[in-house]
Structure formats: structure tokens, C-alpha cells
Amino acid sequence: MTFGFENTRNSFLKLSSLYLCSSVFICGSLMPLTLFAAQATPVTDGGQSLFDKAQKLFQEKNYKQAKDSLNQLVAKYPMGDFIPKARLLLANLQEDFTVSTVQFRELATEYSTRPEGEEAQKDLGSRYYLADKYDEAADSYKEFLDHYPKSNSMPEVRYWYASSLLALDKDQEALDEYQKVLNNAPDSPWAPKALLGTGNAYFKMKKYQDAEKRYLKILDQYHFYDELNLVYLKLGQTYESEQKWKEAHAAYQTLIQQYPQAFEVSEARDRLQELEKQHADLPHAPEAQAPEPTATPVVVAAEPTETPVPTETVEETAPTTDAISKPFHVQVGVYSKKLNVEKTRKAIQKAGYTSYVVTAKQEGVPYTYYKVRVGNYADRATAEKVAKELARKTKEKAIVVED
């Protein structure tokens, strides 16, 4: 009986111990799993939800909050999957031109095999082009074309590469690049832009018949192109160069009637008035007598909407009948802060010149850039002379830019 009792008791203790061990094992395994599961969400997420929030702030144009959030995220989750996108967004949010270009270049190098590196290379070119640094822009765009030949952005980048070359007076090279856009992407939104670019290149080369054909082709094939107002202005200028006065008059009049709010209207009215004075057989359009819009200190346009009148110390060439437009300007600085704009304008005024401001904005760049310019000149030589004098007097770098 004792032996039986002991056996029973031992068996019971063994079963109890086994039960307890099983309970401890189960509880021990379940409890940490539960705790781990509770902590897993932020680790797995890696800050992605916070990045999405910052991205939303960026889209809502809450740039300061977006920038603060992104800086915190990059510091807190340096290995997060979102980091390349976050750094690219921070580079776009960077107001300082020099800092932003350094950041884009670093990203383009570091992520050369990722979409973010491709985007950074494109953004680098855009930032240079926006600041009228066409040499650097052309180099950046060329690097993109060489490294990403299969990119979906090829038509866009090649267009801006061609535009950079055109601004550098490499007209034939620009023409060749514009033509590649037309050949390779005829149905893309960049095709009519490239066609306009070819027209502008031919116009600069004084091949006016070729320019005319390109402008007319845009009007014929791209009825919904969003820059038809500019096409009509360039067509009018081309007709004048060909001494087709009636056609030029009609082009300017069409621009004024169909696009009354366009920035090119002011110049079109001026040309209408001049043509009607010189050619009595042309009908006097009532639009030509319309009052000019009130000038404002800052011109919100991609190009100046009025011809600034220099002070008496400026020796500007008198307009001639064959000077259809004055495409050359002296640019003294490009800024993202209005405080710097006013400082430069005061220095220009002290130097004896009248300045004006052109605002520039590009897709993907959240900040507006302000270009401080002086004068409209019919030839580059005159503009270069003014640029040298301004650089000497203001101690700022002055360059010549062309429409």
C-alpha cells in the first residue's frame, strides 16, 4: 500500500510538474510573442507612415512642416526604406541654390541605380536651368541622357537639353536635339514644345521660312497646345522679318483677341501700333489702341511683360525699324528670398540703372525664384557692355540672357 501510495504520489507530482512546465512554456512563449507583436509595428513600418504624412504636407504646400518632419525622420530612421525618397524631397525643399545642387548631385551619385538617383539627376538639370546656368544645365541633362537611355523621362530631358543648348547659342546642336524629341516621341506632350524649339532655333539662325513652317505646323497639328499665345507672337515676329506685314498684323491681332490675358499681349499691341504707323494700308485694329495694363514692381511671368526704361546714365541703342524684338537682357542675380532681391535692386539703382524682376517657377520646385534683370537690348554686344559695367559697380556677377 505504501509503495502504491508513493507511486501514485510520485506520478501525481510528475504530472503536476509536467503541467506546470507546459504552462510556463506556453505562457513564456505567448507573452513575449504578444509583447513583440505590440512593438513590431513601428519597427516594421520604419517611419513610412510618418514619411507619407510629410509627403502629404509637401503636396499641400506646407513646406516648412514637411521639411521639419522629413529632417526628423531621416535622423530617426536612417535605414528606412523611404530614406532615398525623403532625401530627394528634402533637396527639392532646399531654398539655397548651392546647397540644393550639392544635394542633388550626391543623390544622383549615391542612388545611380535607383529611380531616386535618376530623378535627382533630372532635378539637378532643372535647378541649373531655372537659374539660367545653361552650361551646367546642359552638362547635367547630357549626363542623364548618357546614363538613363531607357528612361520614360527621355523626351522631357532631351527637350530641356536642347533648350539649354539654344540658350548657349549652339543653335544647330539644339535643332538636332529638338528633332530627336519629334522623331522618338511624336505623341508626347513634349513634341509641340520641341517643334516650337525648332522654330525658335531657325529664327535665331535667320532661316525665317523654316521657322514660319514650324510655327504654322504647331497651329495646324496641336490645337490644344497650351503655349499657342507664344506661337502667335513668334509667328508675327517671323512674318515681320520676312516683310510680310499683313500676315504679321493678323498674327498679332489673333494673339490679342484669342488670348487677352496672355503676357505676350503687351508686346503684340506695341507691334500692331508700329506696323500701322509704318504701313497705311493695314487696317487699324481697335485692340492696338487698348490701354496698357498697370505696371507692378514685380512681374509675375516667365519673361518680362514690359520694357523697363533705364535711367539717364544708361546708353541704350535707339530702336530701329528692323529691330523687331529686343531679346537680350542683363541678369544680375537669381534669388529665392525677396530680401536679397531688394538688396540687389538697390545696388543696381545706385549704379545708375533701373531693374525689374521676373519670377520663375518650375514643376517639382516648391519655391519661386526671382531673377533681377536690367534692360531689353536688340543685340548681345550692347547687353554685354551693360553687364560688365553692372558687375564692376555692384560687385555682383552679371550675365546676358536671351529670350
Average pLDDT on 385-394 reads 86
pLDDT per position as a tens digit, 313-322 = 333 333 333 4
Residue 299: pLDDT over 60? no
pLDDT at 65 over 60: yes
Spatial distance between the Cα atoms of 239 and 242, rounded to a whole number of angstroms = 5
> CA-CA distances (angstroms) from residue 14 to 8, 21, 244?
10, 10, 112
Question: Which residues lie across from 331 on neighbouring strands?
Answer: 373, 399
Count each helix (H run) and each strand (E run) in the chain, helices first.
Answer: 16, 5
Alpha-carbon torsion angle 325, 326, 327, 331, nearest 10:
-160
Q: Which residue has the higher pLDDT, 2 or 98?
A: 98
CB atoms within 10 A of CB 284: 11
* DSSP string for 283-314: ---GGGGSPPPPP-SEE-SSS-SS-PPP-TT-
Q: How much is the pLDDT for 362?
A: 64
User: What pLDDT is attached to residue 286?
Assistant: 64
- For residues 3 and 198, the model is more confident at 198
CATH number of 296-403: 3.30.70.1070
Q: Which residue has the higher pLDDT, 120 or 64?
A: 120
Would the pLDDT of 91 be above 50?
yes
Query: Per mean pLDDT, which range of 17-21, 201-205, 373-377 is the poorest?
Result: 17-21
Which pLDDT value is given to residue 325? 59
Q: What angle do CA 246, 250, 256 make, to 5 degrees?
A: 145
Higher pLDDT, 375 or 215: 215
- In whole angstroms, give the CA distance from residue 243 to residue 299: 32
- Cα(285)–Cα(394) distance, rounded to whole angstroms? 44
CA angle, corner 88, sides to 87 and 91, nearest 5?
85
Cβ burial, residue 12 (10 Å; 0-12/13-18/19+): exposed
User: Which set of grid coordinates corresponds to residue 103?
Assistant: 544635394
Grid cell 506685314 in the structure block, residue: 245
Nearest to 359 by CA among 343, 391, 339, 336: 336
Q: Would you list the domain boundaries of the chain? A: 296-403
Confidence of residue 105 (pLDDT cuts 50, 70, 90): very high
* Cβ(176)–Cβ(165) below 8 Å: no
- What is the average per-residue pLDDT within 245-268? 92
355, 368 contact by CB (below 8 A): no
- The yes-or-no verdict on residue 235 having pLDDT over 90 is yes
Question: pLDDT digit string (tens) for 11-42?
Answer: 444 444 444 444 443 344 444 444 344 444 44
Per-residue pLDDT, 113: 95
pLDDT in tens, 320-372: 334 455 788 898 877 767 788 888 898 898 888 988 888 876 666 666 778 89
Average pLDDT over residues 285-296: 46
Q: What is the DSSP string of 89-149?
A: HHHHH---HHHHHHHHHHHHHHTTTSHHHHHHHHHHHHHHHHTT-HHHHHHHHHHHHHH-T
Q: How much is the mean pLDDT over the chain? A: 80
Cα–Cα nearest to 203, from 161, 249, 253, 237: 237
Model pLDDT, residue 149: 95
Query: Could you report the per-residue pLDDT of 37-54, keeping only the tens digit for each?
Result: 444 444 456 678 888 888
